[in-house]
Structure 1
């Protein structure tokens, strides 16, 4: 590519390459003859021109490579795109943050494309690997969806789906658990599931087994009613699962789940609050056998309460909320006085 362009044939070849449909012979008529040019142009100028042509050709080659390797973003009819064959979110449109997301997309437009694969049995239709929220928002807004189309196997699709969720850290513990369980039920091995969840190293295969164990213990309909509960981690979901046998609540629990989930309080509660309502109801009923009640305070914090005939003991996991116990002790005299004042007012009002 670095040879000098001294012969007429070389110049014609270069001109044809650069100018495409322009007639190089006709163009050459308007250029100085090689002999004249060689007399007027120094060898240094010729070398500079050579380098310029070489640079242009190298840039063009790089551009061609980029065009070959790049995945074009296309716009598809949002109604022609279906969800992944594995659901990774428990509740999309019931999430208040999704409403905010839709409005943001309405105002600013779709910034990132989704990833889809063509549906082999339905020409013109596609299936999402990742970008379910963006797709649903575009469907709600009646807009076309920006997408990258890629041929993906089932395994490649669920790995892409899981890895994107892991990188964004936007699946709650129980959503990860049900995602893992669904993949296992569809025949994927633990290694593939671990890769999809970004946990393919070391002891993380054990973590996958733990996820599927927790999800298997819980009634699926009940978990869907609770929702993702983003602040609730593994210990409490495991504890909740311990009240069930073969996904059915033990009869001795004495808790009517249908009654709890049909109240106005339940329907107006957030997902975390719904978990707390059910969890607290079950743990209060369990006090008779364990003597200890767990009261969920949200944000991953709970207080253990042990009541006897003569006293009540409160226990706080100090490591979960450092300084809380000290703060409560300082506030205790004030709280006691407030309790006494309220009690006195109630007595006075009763005459």
Structure 2
């Protein structure tokens, strides 16, 4: 027998006073995520809210957050302290320890209730591991509480539970391509490095992919672990750790400004080239309008480099110094990027 929904309970015995419509409205088809939420509400409507000691509730066995978010927790604490707990948690009976529970969602609410020493309101449902991780993922997707890397790790957890790709990308709110990019990162960067970096709320997929590229070099993973443990990096925020690590692996000063792309202009101010720094090296792209200069530079580059070595420039450049320019005899600017 199907469980009654909240709306059906509210509307039972109440006749509609609205006049009949001449033309029925077109039925809107809800999205997969909204439809799933509706089914979840219908299920929970038939459950009663229990009061549980927070000390009896253990975390979900499937971690989705890398570290404690103090700011978000403080905001929620103020709200619950003033208005009480308005949204129940969802828990299941602990599969191994009688009398205890495991959390499906509501971990920040649970933290706050422990701080305030208040009982927790919770729905108790018998959930398999697969069902629990789906409930957890739907809650996270709806509340936008996870950073990009946390969502990528959670997608990996769901995949490990045997959920099909379509279920995963619908649950965490990405498309097929987005899920593929997440896999490329979390399957390449070791878990211990990700957890050392942390949530990285300001770092999205393109920067994580840059780190993947930087770690492809032999010995880079071991070096990255050492960098993250250094005094210079370990005391920084999560975002700063990420940026510092990436710059160090790319041969830049970890605290120096990120060079990114640099426009090279002639003495008259005309753009002649663009210098781009990547994890694999520096790329000098000469403007198409300067094709003659490009041909000249290609021919002269061996001689320019020989002159560079003769003049002892290798002893004066280091990893802290930015790209510099050297004027040839005819006044043409030749760009020498940092090693």
- TM category (shorter chain) comes to 0.5 to 0.7
Q: Does the 8 Å CA contact 1:114/1:148 hold for their aligned counterparts?
A: yes
SS in 2 for 1:92: coil
- TM-score normalized by structure 1? 0.56
**Structure 1 residue 226 displacement after superposition:** 1.5
Change (3 A) 1:256 1:83: closer
User: How far did residue 133 of structure 1 move?
Assistant: 1.2
1:117 alignment partner, SS class: strand
SS in 1 for 2:92: strand
1:188 partnered with 2:188:
no
Q: Secondary structure at the match of 1:237?
A: helix
Contact 1:257 1:278 in 2 (8 A): no
Uncovered stretches (5+) of structure 2, i.e. residues with no partner: 1-11, 15-41, 278-339
Q: Out of 219, 237, 241, which is 1:274 matched to?
A: 241
**Which residue number in structure 2 is paired with residue 225 of structure 1?**
196
Aligned residues: 230
Q: Given that residues 232 and 272 in structure 1 are in contact (C-alpha distance below 8 angstroms), is that contact kept between their aligned partners in structure 2?
A: yes
Partner in structure 1 of residue 218 of structure 2: 250
Q: How does 1:168-207 map to 2 (within 5 A)?
A: 168-199=143-174, 204-207=175-178
Aligned match of 1:127: 102
Cα deviation, 1:89-140, whole Å, max 9, x if unaligned, reads: 11125x4433443454344432211111222443322221111111122233
Select which of 84, 92, 95 maps to 2:60. Answer: 84
User: How far does residue 314 in structure 1 lie from its aligned partner after superposition?
Assistant: 6.9
Counterpart contact for 1:306–1:313, Cα < 8 Å: yes
Task: Give CA deviations for 1:139-186 in whole Å, capped at 9, x if unaligned.
Answer: 333322111122223222211111111111121110111111122233
Spell out, residue by residue over 1:5-53, the C-alpha distance to the aligned partner (whole angstroms, 9 max, x if none).
xxxxxxxxxxxxxxxxxxxxxxxxxxxxxxxxxxxxxxxxxxxxxxxxx
1:249-268 C-alpha deviation (Å, 9 max, x unpaired): 6337995642454325641x
The structure carrying a bigger helix percent of its residues is 1
Residue 262, structure 1, aligned to residue 239, structure 2: no
Q: Secondary structure at the match of 2:61?
A: coil
Aligned counterparts of 1:89 and 1:194: Cα–Cα separation in 2: 18
Whether 1:142 and 2:142 are equivalent positions in the alignment is: no
Q: Confirm or deny: 8 A CA contact 1:254 1:285 kept in the other structure.
A: no
CA–CA separation in structure 2 for the residues paired with 1:271 and 1:73: 37
How do 1:279-294 residues align onto structure 2 when only pairs under 5 Å count? 279-285=246-252
Structure-2 residue corresponding to 1:109: 84
Q: What is the alpha-carbon distance in structure 2 between the residues aligned to residue 198 and residue 213 of structure 1?
A: 17
